[in-house]
Amino acid sequence: MTVFKSVAAGALALALLAGQAAATEDFIVVQSTTSTQNSGLLDEILPEFEAASGIDVRVVAVGTGQALKNAANGDGDVLLVHAKPAEEKFVADGFGVQRFDVMYNDFVIVGPQDDPAGIRGLGDAPAALAKISQSAAPFASRGDDSGTHKKEQALWNLARVDPAASSGNWYRETGSGMGAILNTASAMNAYTMTDRATWLAFNNKGNLEILTEGDDRLFNQYGVILVNPDKHANVKADLGQTFIDWLTGADGQKAIAGFKVNGEQLFFPNAVSQTN
Amino acid sequence: MQDFAQSFVLAGQLVVSGDPALAEIVALSIQVTLTALVISALIGLPLGALLAVARFPGSATLSVLANALMGLPPVVVGLLVYMMLSNAGPLGVLGLLYTPTAMIIAQAVLITPIIIALTRQVIADLNRSYAETFKSMVVPAHTAIAALIWDARFSLLTVLLAGFGRAIAEVGAVMIVGGNINHVTRVMTTAIALETSKGELALALALGFVLLLMALSVNAAVALLRQTDRSAVHV
Amino acid sequence: MSEVLSFPKRETLPLAIGPSPMPLELRHLAFQADSIAILMGIDLKLDTDALTVLMGPNGAGKSVFLRLLHGLIKPTFGEVLWNGEPACAATRKQQALVFQKPVLLRRSVKANLSFALGLRPFQNRKQRLQSALDSAGLADLADRPAHVLSGGEQQRLALARALILEPKVLFLDEPTANLDPASTLLIEQTIQRVRQQGVKVILVTHDTHQARRLAEDVLFMHRGRLIEHSSAQTFFDRPAMREARAYLDGEILV
């Protein structure tokens, strides 16, 4: 019985301790995409910002669609995503203050080495997708309204193919993150579209390799937006702006350029230098 | 599949090296889940016992509800808690989203029905033998409930273990309300999900082994506790 | 233990019979379960402190009868009146019942007693606890878990727990069934002691020898009816009813 009581007391003490775990230091919440986290970019560059500013950056990495919704709910101070039309709409709707370009990389279409659809070396992404649909080779789609998914849909449109009509057949909508899709594609020898950063950092490529790349239409622009404090009073506008200024400023841009996986640069800074 | 062997080795290395990042994640996992468990126990044990011994308006409905909610999908719990704690939600002003507290709330919501339903069952079984004696002795309801909980403590420990297991293994809810923020809300399960999405399957599986080890340790500790308590002098 | 145990002779206890501390009156008492009649048409007055033994073959309804008296179950018809008040929690608080198979808390011997003590506003709890342990012969086993005790020890504990509540009425439902003679003796001695202290004892037993040893007043039930109520002497010497005679002669009654 004494043992019992002491264990109960210990558990309670631990419980109270956990309540205090939330630190009181300055921090911001950044709603971002899985590609920035899974590639390792944020882990690499954030400590530099945190050391310089004393601001702790808490990253919630979800699909761009969910990141936009979370930010619209005021559950974050800064949005760092890659779906320019959706981002512009976010600002136009009053949820964000202003959108800034941060960096870019590109999407690539990856698929099995034996390439049943024969798209290897094609520089035309819509044409590659059209060939995949004709061959009815499996294609794994994010299907989650993420930035990558939005880009993929735009490319299907250009290819004049409605993949949704073949959903469940050769077109597989898995509704999951980029890494999960790559695992899926690797397991079922499917084609898929991924951002290059996640691809390069991904460690379970299996039989997959890059088959189509270099089309201008595969360009992948990342933007950063301060969530509008007029909509949500809890938004830490000053701290968030400090982060945006750093990210789009010389130090942040240099850090982004310096991030390499296996000697390869994953993101290319392209912020327009701010004038104030 | 060489991943399995590799994972075992990796798990061993992680545990032996005392990797600080891993230690942090393990500590947070245990803290969050134990806190959720304490809260659920404080609510679920008395309520489950009350449902076992007393009939009051709505008690049958509550029992059925608790049984049904045992199968609540964690993601749904996560979404509900997210909608409550979101800055656009009714409790947004508390600023709890993306904190360990939010994860504690989600896990507590998830396992309280389990504690209630299983406690009701355990206490009802014990009460079948105690009820007549208690009625004869005119034991007040609250004393009876306390006595039943205390006397069923070994069975109830198993109930608490079931709750602990469900909470610590859960990923859907804590991912949504915690956000898997490094050093703040990253726990074992969300770390495993993250490593999986990076394609680091061996590391993910190794973390899974560590989680299993944690669960085993807790169960072993409880088994030991029972033994010590049984052989110790009874009050 | 070389000492030979012997049950006290009936003649050694010529007790004065006084008024009951809690007179009982039953009016047209009947009980049905699932519309099957278990007890029917019982009228009875017990207003002395004489030790009442309730006898009758299996299925006569003795245990149900005891539960009705104690207020654990409600009669389908009729009334159970203690001091003119219907049996309820308030009357139950002044009584105690020892079941045939004791239900003990899964705790130590001492904790079982102190649990009971805690139910009423007693003074000097420590002393009461110690004297209860002593008189039940359980002092050496005080810290033992109750469930590891022998059957006899468990029943002594159940009896001690009942008595620590200082009841005015003590019900016993075949308390010594399946117990060895030594335990039976200890329990009978305790019963006689509390009878001397003025507690109204109502005992159900199948053991006619025990009944002869303890009874001052006998109730005989058969098939849900109370068919005989007489003094012990009358009952054992000249039972009025054929069924009671047959029962005492050891015939199988149905």
**Average pLDDT for residues A43-56, to the nearest whole number?**
95
| pLDDT tens-digit readout, A237-266 | 999 999 999 999 999 999 999 999 989 999
Residue of B nearest to C146 (CA): B234
Domain extents for chain C? 20-94+167-254, 108-166
Measuring CA to CA, how many Å separate B23 from each of B12, B20, B27, B30, B188?
14, 5, 6, 11, 10
Q: What is the pLDDT of residue C22?
A: 96
What is the CA B32 to chain-centroid distance, rounded? 9
Burial of B19 (0-12, 13-18, 19+ CB in 10 A): middle
The sheet that has C169-173: what strands, in order across it?
C95-98, C169-173, C200-204, C52-55, C217-222, C225-231
Enumerate the residues of chain C whose CB falls inside 8 A of the CB of residue B133: 99, 103
May I ask the CATH class of domain C20-94+167-254? alpha beta
Q: Which residue of B has its CA nearest to C106?
A: B151
Cα–Cα distance, B3 to C200 (Å, whole number): 79
Q: What count of other Cβ atoms lies within 10 Å of the Cβ of residue A3?
A: 14
* B141 Cα to chain C: minimum distance (Å): 11
Using the predicted structure, report yes or no on whether residue A98 has a pLDDT greater than 50: yes
SS (H, E, C) chain A: CHHHHHHHHHHHHHHHHHHCCCCCCCEEEEEEEHHHHHCCHHHHHHHHHHHHHCCEEEEEEECHHHHHHHHHCCCCCEEEECCHHHHHHHHHCCCEEEEEEEEEEEEEEEEECCCCCCCCCCCCHHHHHHHHHHHCCCEEECCCCCHHHHHHHHHHHHCCCCHHHHECCCEEECCCCHHHHHHHHHHHCCEEEEEHHHHHHCCCCCCEEEEECCCHHHEEEEEEEEECCCCCCCCCHHHHHHHHHHHHCHHHHHHHHHCEECCEECCEECCCCCCC
pLDDT of residue B235: 47
Determine the Cα–Cα distance for residues C204 and C54; give it in Å rounded to an integer: 5
Distance to chain B for C16, nearest Cα, Å: 30
SS3 C200: strand
Give the residue, A181 or C2, on which the prediction is more confident.
Answer: A181
Reported as a pLDDT band with limits 50, 70 and 90, residue A2 is low
Structural domain contains residue B209 = no
Strand partners, C39: C31
Tell whether B51 is covered by a domain. Answer: yes
Q: Which two tokens stand for residue A45?
A: 């560059």
Do the Cβ atoms of A233 and A258 come closer than 8 Å?
no
- Interface residue C108 vs chain B (CB under 8 A): yes
Q: How many domains are there within chain B?
A: 1
Here the CATH number for the domain that contains residue B166 is 1.10.3720.10
Contact C96 B133 (CB under 8 A): no
Model confidence pLDDT, tens digit, residues A102-113? 999 999 999 999
Residue burial B30-62, b: 16+ Cβ < 10 Å; e: rest: bbbbbbbbbbbbeebbbbbbbbbbeeeeeeeeb
User: Checking phi first, is residue B199 left (phi over 0); if not, alpha (psi -120 to 50) or beta?
Assistant: left
Which of A37, A57, A73, A205 is most worth mutating to test chain B (most B CB atoms within 10 A of its CB)?
Answer: A73
User: A276 pLDDT band (50/70/90 cuts)?
Assistant: very low
Which chains are adjacent to chain C, needing at least 3 Cβ pairs under 8 Å?
B
Count CB neighbours of A207 within 10 A: 12
User: Please, what is the Cα angle at C20 between C15 and C24, to 5 degrees?
Assistant: 135
Cα first-last separation, chain C: 42
The CA distance from C48 to the nearest CA of chain B, in Å, is 23
Cα–Cα distance for residue pair A198/A155, rounded to 1 Å: 19
Which chain C residues touch B151 with a CB distance below 8 Å?
105-107
| pLDDT value for A148 | 92
The answer to whether residue B160 sits within a structural domain is yes
Residue B136 and residue C143: Cβ atoms within 8 Å? no
User: Which one of B129, B136, B235 has the shortest CB-CB distance to C97?
Assistant: B136
User: pLDDT at position A34, please?
Assistant: 86
Percent pLDDT > 70 in chain A is 89
So what's the pLDDT on residue A274?
A: 52
Smallest Cβ distance to B229: which of A1, A70, A186?
A1
Residues of B in contact with C97 (CB under 8 A): 136
CA atoms within 13 A on the CB side of B167: 33
pLDDT tens digits, one per residue of A133-173: 999 999 999 988 888 999 999 999 999 999 989 888 999 99
Report the complex ipTM.
0.90
Residues with Cβ < 8 Å from B158, sequence gap 6 or more? none
Q: Do B234 and C105 touch (CB under 8 A)?
A: no
Could you give phi then psi for residue B91, rounded to 5 degrees? -105, 15
Task: List chains adjacent to chain B, taking adjacency as at least 3 C-beta pairs closer than 8 Å.
Answer: A, C
Are the CB atoms for A32 and A67 separated by under 8 Å?
A: yes
With an 8 Å Cβ cutoff, are A3 and B100 in contact?
no
Within 8 A of B190 by CB-CB distance, chain A residues are none
Does the beta-carbon distance from C115 to B135 stay under 8 Å? no
Averaged over successive runs of 10 residues, the pLDDT of chain C (254 residues) comes to 55 72 96 93 95 93 96 96 96 96 94 96 93 94 94 95 96 93 93 94 94 95 94 92 87 69
Residues B154-180: b if buried by 16+ CB within 10 A, e if exposed: eebbebbbebbbbbbebbbbbbbbbbb
Q: Which residues of A93-129 are buried (b: 16+ CB within 10 A; e: fewer)?
A: eebbbebbebbbbbbbbbbbeebebebeebebbbebb
CB atoms B234 and C144 under 8 Å: yes
Residue B73 domain boundaries: 20-186
Chains in contact with chain A (at least 3 beta-carbon pairs closer than 8 A): B
For chain A, which residues lie within 8 Å of any Cβ of chain B, measuring from their own Cβ?
1-4, 7, 11-12, 14-15, 17-19, 21-23, 29, 34, 37-38, 43, 58-61, 70, 72-75, 177-180, 182-183, 186, 201-205, 232, 234
Token pair, residue B122, equals 């355990």
How close does chain A come to B121, measured CA to CA in Å? Answer: 22
Q: Closest Cα to residue A197, out of A268, A270, A120?
A: A268
Min Cα distance A6 → chain B (Å) is: 11
pLDDT at A275 (0 to 100): 42
Tens of pLDDT, residues C85-136 = 999 999 999 999 999 999 999 999 999 999 999 999 999 999 999 999 999 9
Interface residue C236 vs chain B (CB under 8 A): no
Which one, of A133, A125, A111, A113, lies nearest residue A181 by Cα? A111
State the pLDDT at residue B2: 61
For residue B200, give the nearest of A3, A61, A203 by CB distance.
A203
- Indicate yes or no: CB of B225 within 8 angstroms of CB of A179: no
Q: Using alpha carbons, list the distances in angstroms from residue C167 to A43, A198, C95, C99, C160.
A: 75, 80, 4, 15, 11
- Is the minimum CB–CB distance between C5 and chain B shorter than 8 Å? no
C109 and C142 in contact (C-beta within 8 Å)?
yes
C-alpha span between C247 and A198 (Å, rounded) = 93
**Taking a contact as any Cβ pair under 8 Å apart, which residues of chain C between 184 and 223 contact chain B?**
none
Whether chain B has a CB inside 8 Å of the CB on C106: the answer is yes
pLDDT at A231 over 60: yes
User: Can you give the pTM of this predicted structure?
Assistant: 0.82
User: Distance (Å, rounded) from C-alpha B199 to C-alpha A197?
Assistant: 13
pLDDT given for residue B234 in this prediction: 46
Mutate to test the interface with B, among C69, C110, C119, C170 (most CBs of B within 10 A): C119
> In the prediction, which pLDDT does B60 show?
92
Predicted local distance difference test score (pLDDT) of residue A16? 52
Write down all domains in chain A, each with its CATH number in brackets: 26-104+221-269 (3.40.190.10), 106-218 (3.40.190.10)
Question: What is the reported pLDDT for B149?
Answer: 95
Q: Minimal Cα–Cα distance from B53 to chain C, Å?
A: 16
Tell me what pLDDT residue C175 has. Answer: 94
Q: Which stretches in chain B have pLDDT values below 70?
A: 1-2, 229-235
Secondary structure letter of residue C157 according to DSSP: H
Which three-class secondary structure string do you get for chain B? CCHHHHHHHHHHHHHHHCCHHHHHHHHHHHHHHHHHHHHHHHHHHHHHHHHHHCCCCCHHHHHHHHHHHCCCCHHHHHHHHHHHHCCCCCCHHHCCCCCHHHHHHHHHHHHHHHHHHHHHHHHHHHHHHHHHHHHHHCCCHHHHHHHHHHHCHHHHHHHHHHHHHHHHCCCHHHHHHHCCCCCCCCCHHHHHHHHHHCCCHHHHHHHHHHHHHHHHHHHHHHHHHHHHHHHCCCC
Share of chain A above pLDDT 90, in %: 76
C72–B136: do the CB atoms touch at under 8 Å?
A: yes
Cβ separation C103–B138 shorter than 8 A: no
The number of beta carbons lying within 10 Å of the beta carbon of residue C160 is: 24
Tokens of C122: 């007693």
Tell if the CB–CB gap between B181 and A58 is shorter than 8 Å: yes
Taking every pair of C-alpha atoms in chain C, what is the biggest distance, in angstroms?
55
Is B234's CB within 8 Å of C99's CB? no
